Amino acid sequence: MNQKGIGYVSKTPNFLIEGGIGMKGEPRELKIKVNGMLYELKVKPKALLSDVLRKDLKLTGTKRGCLESTCGVCTVILDGKAVRSCSILAVQANGHEITTIEGLAKGDKLHPIQEAFINHGAIECGFCIPGRVMMAKALLDENPNPTREEIRLAMQGVLCADSGYVKQIEAVEIAAERMRGGE
Amino acid sequence: MLMEGKFSLKAPIKKIWETLLEAETLLSCIPGAEKIERIDEKTYDCVVKQKVGPISVKFKFKSIITKMEPPTHIEIEGEGEDIAKAGHFVQKSIVDLREISPSEVEVSYKTDVNIVGKLAMFGDRIMKAKAKKVEEEFTMALQERLRSMG
Amino acid sequence: MKDFEYFAPKTVEEALSLLSQYKGEAKIIAGGQSMLVVMRQGLLAPEYVVDIKGITALDYMTYDEREGLRIGALTIHRAIEKSPIIQKHFRVLSEMERNLATIQTRNWGTIGGNLCHGDSAGDPAPVLIALDAKLKLKSLSGERIVAMEGFSKDLLEVDLEPDEMLVEIQVPTPRPHTGVAHEKLMVMQGDAGIVGAAVSITLKPKEGVCEDARIVISNAASVPMRVKEAEKRWIGKVVNDHLLAEAGDIASAEADPPSDVHASSEYRKEMLKVFVKRAAGKALERAKEG
């Protein structure tokens, strides 16, 4: 893949193209910017954004959890807003900008939110963490000085079966303070 | 979920009893019924479709008559699933026929339905919303059938 | 999910042409936050999908003291939640949105999509009924305005012809001395209400007597239900604690709630007493504040 400019993905979509019978399911053009890189690909209208990210773009950091829009582990940032990628048709993201967990670190340097989660022991099995970190990023990008209640509400958007959320809320507070300090 | 109701039919009780058990009757009177086949004297194989707004569900199920006291009392148990594999359900019904006069009968029913699976999210509420309507349509259709049979 | 033919009109006219062309077989998708869930479960499989999310002309909120509030059908829930105008003049709408699903859902789902989905457990419909809102529906042959109250016909069925589209929600400026509040029973914040109540009370300024009232309950029937019998008991009286409780009792008696995995019908009936009283109490307080 071309690291510098436009990343072309092969025209063969994740789902095999059926032999041109009628228009149903005919693959459509999709132009999206993901983690700063522009992609042009063809997807079936029924393809979900989470599947395109994971299967076509090989960005598997975004997880598939409940398949019914309840758990939030599929959360990514679309045009600055946290959204559930399993509940958006990929074609609806055409022309939009997406950030996934893979887009946070700069080379080897982790994002302050990622570091706070690791250093504060806020990660247990880790499955909900990518979605959770993206929720936190969306929150802090919009509101660099959130109250604990606001952080709690943001964390509520992604379910965790392990932790009880306290460490995660604290990690976001720690990250927020560090980011306000200018990192 | 419990659903119960009462309706009256103008026909002699024996006639209603016999007609009610016929697969033909059920097929033509139950709203959304696509297939009702009597396998043996106690068992029916059924496919029923129901639409709620834009959502369609098609149920394939087996009903077994567990108790029969002609011509007044019948108990049925059913089990089946949605064709799209979105849900599985079990059902128990008790139907009582009471003669009001030689040509009028009061039918009362009590049904307990339990849905599990993805459909459970909607299933119970769909059934509740449609229950009254289904009862009305069934009653009208059955009455029409009894009348046309003379 | 089954394959479908997909269209992404950029204007209302284009969308209406498509609806007219594929009458009855086309299904509109906006944010898809309700629709995609049922499509993925195989419960809904339209042949033609008309994606209106890209019609930016329907994403707006305007307010005028005389005309009231006008919300474009494609306004996302989050925008309504955060709008300073709505927080100032229609606080109950912002509060209702704050408790609707999760932030992610509100960032993509639209108010119009929610209303047209027609879920009787939804929050916007009862609140908009309490606010006496109207809906503007458009088709190629013209437009019509319907009261929010009559829009829901049955569970998941609304008063929309196959070639029609919801374009605007109109909320009149509440009369002076009107208080509106919304309460719902949730296990987790954002849950669909096990039951819910939206109440509007208008008082006559001097005597503090109730001049007008609207009590709407959700997830208590197959559509959002107005409890007119309870409303009548308040008109012309000073609404006290006893009358608040009575409204709850009447709402509970009139309702025919479902039993499901979240609660039994009996429990819902009990909770309606509590939540109608709570919402009514809050509305009354707000009405008194003027």
Say which CATH class B2-148 falls into: alpha beta
Burial of C43 (0-12, 13-18, 19+ CB in 10 A): buried
Confidence category of residue C136, pLDDT binned at 50, 70, 90: very high
Q: Residue B55 has what pLDDT?
A: 84
Residue C154: its chain B contacts at CB < 8 A? 52-53, 129
pLDDT tens track for C93-132: 999 999 999 999 999 999 999 999 999 999 999 999 999 9
Q: Which of residues 95-124 of A touch C (CB under 8 A)?
A: none
**What is the ipTM metric for this complex?**
0.93
**Min Cα–Cα distance to chain C from B52, Å:** 6
Task: Quote the mean pLDDT of chain C.
Answer: 95
Burial of B90 (0-12, 13-18, 19+ CB in 10 A): middle
Q: C102 is written with which tokens?
A: 């999760």
Find the residue in C nearest to A18 (Cα): C3
Is the confidence at residue A10, as pLDDT, over 50?
Answer: no
Q: A119 is written with which tokens?
A: 């250093």
Find the residue in B nearest to C44 (Cα): B55
**Min Cα–Cα distance to chain C from B73, Å:** 27
Q: A83 is written with which tokens?
A: 């959204």
CATH topology of domain C178-289: Enolase-like; domain 1 (3.30.390)
CATH superfamily of the domain spanning A6-100: Beta-grasp domain (3.10.20.30)
Q: Which CATH architecture has domain C56-171?
A: 2-Layer Sandwich (3.30)
- Residue-range domain boundaries for chain A: 6-100, 112-180
Q: Give the side-chain half-sphere CA count within 13 A for C91.
A: 10
pLDDT tens track for C81-98: 999 999 999 999 999 999
* Amino acid present at B38: R
Say which CATH class C5-51 falls into: alpha beta
Cβ distance of A156 and C190 shorter than 8 Å: yes
DSSP symbol at A119: H
Burial of C145 (0-12, 13-18, 19+ CB in 10 A): exposed
Is the confidence at residue A5, as pLDDT, over 70?
Answer: no
Angle at C246 between CA C244 and CA C251, to 5 degrees: 100
Cβ distance of A69 and C37 shorter than 8 Å: yes
When the candidates are 3.90.1300.10, 1.10.150.120, 3.90.180.10, 1.10.3720.10, the CATH number that belongs to A112-180 is 1.10.150.120
Question: C186 CB near a chain A CB, below 8 Å?
Answer: no
Pick from B52, B86, B124: CB nearest C258: B124
Task: Quote the mean pLDDT of chain A.
Answer: 88
User: Which letter, b or e, does each residue of A5-41 get, where b requires 16 or more Cβ atoms within 10 Å of its Cβ?
Assistant: eebebeeebbbeeeeeeeebbbbbebebbbbebebeb
Tens-digit pLDDT string for chain B (150 aa): 788 888 889 899 998 898 888 888 888 888 889 999 989 989 999 998 888 888 888 889 999 999 999 989 999 999 998 887 778 889 899 999 999 999 899 999 998 888 887 777 776 777 777 777 888 888 888 888 888 876
pLDDT tens track for B117-146: 777 777 677 777 777 788 888 888 888 888
DSSP symbol at C56: G
Find the residue in B nearest to C24 (Cα): B54
Percent of chain B exceeding pLDDT 70 equals 99
Cβ distance of A46 and C1 shorter than 8 Å: yes
Percent of chain B exceeding pLDDT 90 equals 31
pLDDT tens track for C31-85: 999 999 989 888 899 999 999 999 999 999 999 999 999 999 999 999 999 999 9
C-alpha dist (Å) from residue C267 to B100, C260, C262 = 36, 11, 10
